[in-house]
Amino acid sequence: MKWLLNFLKGKWLGHPLHPILVHVPMAMWPGALIFDLLSKWQIGGNAMVRLSFYAIVFGLATSLLALPTGLVDWTGIKKEKPAWKIGLYHLALNIVVTALFAINLGLRLPDFRDAVMVATPPLTLSILGTAILIVSAYLGGRMTYHYGISVARMSKDEWREIAKAGGANLPPE
Amino acid sequence: MNGARSPKRVEPIFPRSKIDMLKDFLEGKPLQHPIHPMLVHFPIGLFLLSFLLDLASLASSSVPNLVRGSFYAMLLGLITSLVAAVPGLVDYTDIRSDHPGKRTATAHMILNFMVVVVYGINLGIRSSSLLDPKISMGPFILSLVGVGLLSASGYLGGRLVYDEGIAVGRHKRHMPTPRDTIHLTAPIPGADSVFVPITAAQQLRERETLRVEIDSQVMTIAKIDNQLFAFQEFCTHRYGPLSEGKFEGFNVQCPWHNSCFDVRSGKVTNGPAKVDLKTFKVETRDGKVGVLLTKHP
């Protein structure tokens, strides 16, 4: 089991996996919204409708991979830390967003092959999903950039050497 | 420490010029989140999508509009990559010149420049054959090269954040961070106690810092409440840069994981750090301000 945890944490890559994988849904779903709007303005025709569909599929597939890596990173945070609660909100919002885009995809399934314009109900879901996604992604970013989650986790030995060479007091190894 | 933490944000002590405010904005300080890493999701995701659509067009020529879709995804990817370049450049200029992450950042920037050029050429070539059922070999190979360069560059960008801590906790600080390390040598090496004058410390503004190295001892000099303090540069948790930390009262907060230390005593006032900082005595001798280094502190 430990190898799986280390795999999901990205130790083999020297980089946490979750923030890599989330680039895909984070680009695909707001991208789908942009493609939906372009299609509403009669740009691109069926190519744009299909593109939006494929973007949502790619986002969904990757978000399912991102989920276990995010869970592993989150369980590494102590419950009394502020980042733990932010992680919980981030997780809950991401589940909502994923469900919204799954429904969105279902609505498109019958006619994306021929339609030349995205219908209003899936467009509405794209707007809603993107709005919630932005909030959720911001919380994820806060975990990294404000609370330092996963920062210097894999590089701490290198930094220790630098600090040691710089004459610093060090914690016991 | 908790007594010193005020709920409302501390106002900048020095007025900021218009350029400084623009720089703060592009570094994402009002959002309390750097902007470049937010925007790069788009080129990374969209260039990958266009590559997958290229592959799909090669796999099945019966599905219509794949080549056109790939073109649109790539076009949006290129536009967003150009937007992301602006805050990226600002972030780059703010990395201390001798920071271990600086070279990584330079490589990241050069690779990104190549990515933009490769995708610009790719878009130009494929724009004339959008109705093809299959992508032709030229643009497909360019996509392959683009994805390869992008993956390498994206990986380096991630290393900058997660290994080097670039932009982590930067928004918490109002004052500029040191551009360089000042290298000094003790005049009498081996003496029990030596006074090392630090000329630049005289010009420090309130809550501004210097990063100083004296005979391989790296320290932060900070001015707080019109007094100078000197303490070790590296946090005792994961060795974050305290010269880039935030000051509240007489506390310095590490930008990475928010450990706090009293700059007067070096004592930990808030975790996760558990070990106190090494501190150095600041003195004025013959009108020169400097630190007193003792062999047995």
Alpha-carbon distance A83 to nearest alpha carbon in chain B (angstroms): 11
Q: Check: CB of residue B154 under 8 Å from CB of residue B108.
A: no
Q: Check: CB of residue B92 under 8 Å from CB of residue B166.
A: no
Average pLDDT value for residue range A16-35: 96
What is the per-residue pLDDT for A6?
Answer: 87
pLDDT at B203 over 50: yes
Partners of A150 on chain B (C-beta within 8 Å) are 162
Tens of pLDDT, residues B93-136: 999 999 999 999 999 999 999 999 999 999 999 999 888 888 99
Residue-by-residue DSSP string for B104-153: HHHHHHHHHHHHHHHHHHHHHHHGGGTT-SS--HHHHHHHHHHHHHHHHH
Query: Distance between CA atoms of B281 and B279, rounded to whole angstroms?
Result: 7
Tell if the CB–CB gap between A162 and B276 is shorter than 8 Å: no
pLDDT at A39 over 90: yes
Please give the C-alpha separations between residue B202 and each of B186, B197, B207, B283, in angstroms, as whole numbers: 19, 10, 13, 12
What is the per-residue pLDDT for B12?
Answer: 53
Partners of A151 on chain B (C-beta within 8 Å) are 161-162, 165, 168, 238, 256-257
Q: Check: CB of residue B223 under 8 Å from CB of residue B178.
A: no
Q: Check: CB of residue B180 under 8 Å from CB of residue B96.
A: yes
Q: Does B242 touch chain A (CB under 8 A)?
A: no
pLDDT at B176 over 60: yes
Q: What is the mean pLDDT of chain A?
A: 94
Instruction: Give just the sign of the alpha carbon dihedral A66, A19, B24, B173.
Output: positive
Alpha-carbon distance B181 to nearest alpha carbon in chain A (angstroms): 12
Query: Distance between CA atoms of B232 and B221, rounded to whole angstroms?
Result: 9
Q: Does B32 touch chain A (CB under 8 A)?
A: yes
pLDDT at B4 over 70: no
State pTM to two decimals. 0.90
Average pLDDT value for residue range B175-196: 84
Q: Check: CB of residue B233 under 8 Å from CB of residue B245.
A: no
Q: Check: CB of residue A117 under 8 Å from CB of residue A39.
A: yes
ipTM, two decimals, is 0.93
Q: Does B64 touch chain A (CB under 8 A)?
A: yes
Q: What is the mean pLDDT of chain B?
A: 90
Domain ranges of chain B: 35-166, 176-294
pLDDT at B5 over 50: no
Beta-carbon contacts of residue B267 (< 8 Å; ≥ 6 apart)? B261, B276, B277
Residue B32 pLDDT class (50, 70, 90 cuts) = very high
Domain B176-294 = CATH 2.102.10.10: yes
Partners of B163 on chain A (C-beta within 8 Å) are 14-15, 152, 154-155, 158
Rg over alpha carbons for chain B, rounded to the nearest Å, is 25
Closest residue in A to B211 (Cα–Cα): A166
SS3 of chain A: CHHHHHHHHCCCCCCCCHHHHCHHHHHHHHHHHHHHHHHHCCCCHHHHHHHHHHHHHHHHHHHHHHHHHHHHHHHCCCCCCHHHHHHHHHHHHHHHHHHHHHHHHHHHCCCCCCCCCCCHHHHHHHHHHHHHHHHHHHHHHHHHHCCCCCCCCCCHHHHHHHHHHCCCCCCCC
Query: Distance between CA atoms of A36 and A171, rounded to whole angstroms?
Result: 54
pLDDT at B208 over 70: yes
Tell if the CB–CB gap between A169 and B277 is shorter than 8 Å: yes
E strand segments, chain B: 181-184, 193-197, 209-214, 217-224, 227-232, 246-248, 251-253, 260-262, 268-270, 279-285, 288-294
Q: Does B158 touch chain A (CB under 8 A)?
A: yes
Residue B13 pLDDT class (50, 70, 90 cuts) = low
